[in-house]
């Protein structure tokens, strides 16, 4: 049972790392990236839909994103959703596609994005530590119930801590990479 808890913890920590990686991909780094628009929801036909489900999103150039909606009548809703997302981008359309020009990042904006990335990294670390806490509580309960010995408990807690340390290091490495990407001109 305790081995199962450790495997469960490893799986949850890997998911926390992946979630952090996804959130990093939505933070702008100076060049066009379709992931910047991943969290935008468009009101269409009475429901909220992800932007990539109402049209093709592409980055044909380093400083340009193009949204080619399947239904051209949804263009105003796409523009509204982009404006509401507060990305600092102004949508332009020609009646067929929506274009987003990506402006150069100022030094202040780069610092702001680096701060956002640090916040996301901290959120990921907190999630990882929370998994460790849950697993250790379950292990202690198992020891109290007599399912595992005190020596086993110590061994599993040590293994849990090693998993936590490795996962936090992975998040820190992702953050350093993203910070370099953001601050490099």
pLDDT of 185 > 70? The answer is no
Q: Do residues 165 and 96 share a domain? A: no
Q: Do residues 84 and 140 share a domain? A: no
Tell the burial category of 142 from Cβ atoms under 10 Å away from its Cβ (0-12, 13-18, 19+).
Answer: middle
Q: Do residues 133 and 167 share a domain? A: yes
Q: Do residues 112 and 170 share a domain? A: yes
Taking Cα atoms as reference points, which of 42, 40, 92 lies closest to residue 64? 92
Domain count, the chain: 2
Q: Do residues 125 and 63 share a domain? A: no
Q: Do residues 151 and 174 share a domain? A: yes
Residue-wise pLDDT tens digits, 69-122: 988 888 999 898 888 887 777 888 888 899 988 877 788 888 888 898 999 999
State mean pLDDT over 11-28. 88
Domain with 147 in it: what CATH number? 1.10.132.20
Q: Do residues 87 and 113 share a domain? A: no
150-183 helix and 2-25 helix, angle to the nearest 10 degrees? 10
State mean pLDDT over 35-63. 85
Domain's final residue, options 60, 77, 101: 101
Residue 57 · residue 34 · CB < 8 Å: yes
Domain's final residue, options 72, 101, 130: 101
Give residue 6's domain range: 2-25+106-183
Phi, psi of 47 (to 5 degrees): -140, 165
Q: Do residues 53 and 67 share a domain? A: yes
């Amino acid at each position: 049972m305790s081995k199962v808890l450790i495997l469960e913890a490893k799986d949850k920590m890997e998911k926390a790392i992946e979630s952090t990686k996804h959130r990093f991909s939505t933070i702008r780094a100076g060049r066009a990236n379709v992931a910047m628009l991943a969290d935008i929801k468009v009101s269409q036909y009475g429901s909220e839909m992800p932007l990539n489900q109402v049209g093709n999103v592409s980055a044909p150039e380093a400083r340009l994103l193009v949204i080619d909606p399947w239904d051209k009548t949804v263009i105003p809703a796409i523009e509204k959703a982009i404006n509401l997302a507060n990305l600092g981008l102004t949508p332009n359309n020609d009646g067929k596609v929506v274009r987003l020009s990506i402006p150069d990042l100022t030094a202040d904006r780069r610092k702001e994005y680096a701060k956002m990335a640090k916040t996301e990294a901290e959120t990921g670390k907190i999630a990882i530590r929370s998994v460790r806490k849950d697993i250790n509580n379950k292990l202690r309960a198992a020891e109290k119930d007599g399912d595992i010995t005190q020596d086993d408990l110590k061994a599993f807690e040590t293994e849990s801590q090693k998993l936590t340390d490795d996962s936090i290091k992975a998040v820190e490495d992702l953050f350093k990479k993203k910070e370099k990407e953001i601050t490099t001109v």
